A and B are shown apart, each in its own frame.
Chain A
């Protein structure tokens, strides 16, 4: 039982970590868990709907300070701040899932093919990926968002536009990592022997190369999830997000709170902003810890003598 648990990425890392590193990892996991749970149970937790403007006792009123029926106040548009913060979690999670899934599939496939086949195809793809990678990601996402939705968004339209725009930014990252791993693994002895016994290229790519090339994926996954939240919020802040009647989105709310700030109204910007910071913080803490644990130079060394007897978890399994 413990053996199976040990091979699961995150569980293995928690067991492997010590001291401060474990503290950071566990804190990150806790915040992330709250984030995901809030997203799933948003309809139950949120006191009102994300686009609700009135209840039985009439309209909410705009810019009400926190307290009473509206724990965190209301926005300039007359929405309940707390409800929009909670519903915003759901939007963020959906965008992460769609964006990361799309980019993993596209990026991994391209990286695998490019690295394994090599030649001019590889060169061209690398130059393209490097060009896109160097470009300011938010600007690329803006251009992609224009292309996809022309700027207007329904719920799924807006979410898909945001997610696909983010995908554009991410594909080169997965591509680079997987390609580099593929090039390395391609020259391993077990790939040679697979060729000798007559395995076809697709089989070698999936069976031997892909399986061993995925060890960095959990790390990029966490990094990208946090970046997805930030890009989504950036798009929303610039007016390219999702309409408030279609879904709750933190960046949009922050954009609307710009003018509130000058008149000293703090609750409309503080809470959506904190929601972004906390969710990104949680996911990044997990990612950072995974990164450190994967890098022997950065792994805390107190457990060195124990680690010497356990097999390397990242060991190649042909």
Chain B
């Protein structure tokens, strides 16, 4: 009898899920009332910090984590990720994962360091966060990298899965965890059911981050780095069904920064990408380049050029403004500048040192 009940439930499951998906699509997007800006800080002059941008009142509150918790943030936060009501931080000074309650920003427990060495990025699935970890000085030994499987209910790393090559950005698509490798010309993959590791070979450079389109396929950034020169730097396109790199689109100046370096627009018809180059006087001129996902090519004119210290980009899908994060020095506050899609400056906020990622507050 009991078995029969489970069987009915099992058969009904696809319909239930489909129904959920439909409902989700129909639900209007929550209004974005503000953003948290994650500021990496710098090795020598500051720990990281969190800024709050209040969009309704056009105000900024820097050091909001400290205002809530009374102490500076621990570690140089490499990445922040909101999952199941908490915001998780990848700490890089003390290698640790720590989290705050998303609604209050209050931290109530110490960070987790066990089996966490140089955490970079994470993505959630079920009760788990998959955390890419360099595992040590990856530039000296590329075999050290791994993916930590972190249980968000017990706050423990349950398992580590070897992922050599400097694992960086992660994304889950078609039941597979795709892993950008920053010290190898491959893309790592972990089948989430079997946890078997495989690779997409022949990537024309190292990779750093992913964006997932509506078909569940991936755009991946392929920058040129000092360690490994890219034969074609720019964006790659991965078919997640065939698990192949189908195409590459050249943008030789695509940045190798560890921050939010690309962002879809609202209907995912465009990708805003951070890039730049040195002029003949050795001055660095950064900009925002626009990739048309339908024409599969970069627009001939960048959205912005000549932005010194450009560190990241983000697209606000509600206001349709392009956010540009600027970090010119390790000792000075950064800037968050809002541009419209014609490249006209709309508003500017001073953030903490080295703004690198944005989390929406809804």
Q: Please determine whether chains A and B interact with each other in the same assembly.
A: no
State the B residues within 8 Å of A (CB). Answer: none
State the A residues within 8 Å of B (CB). Answer: none
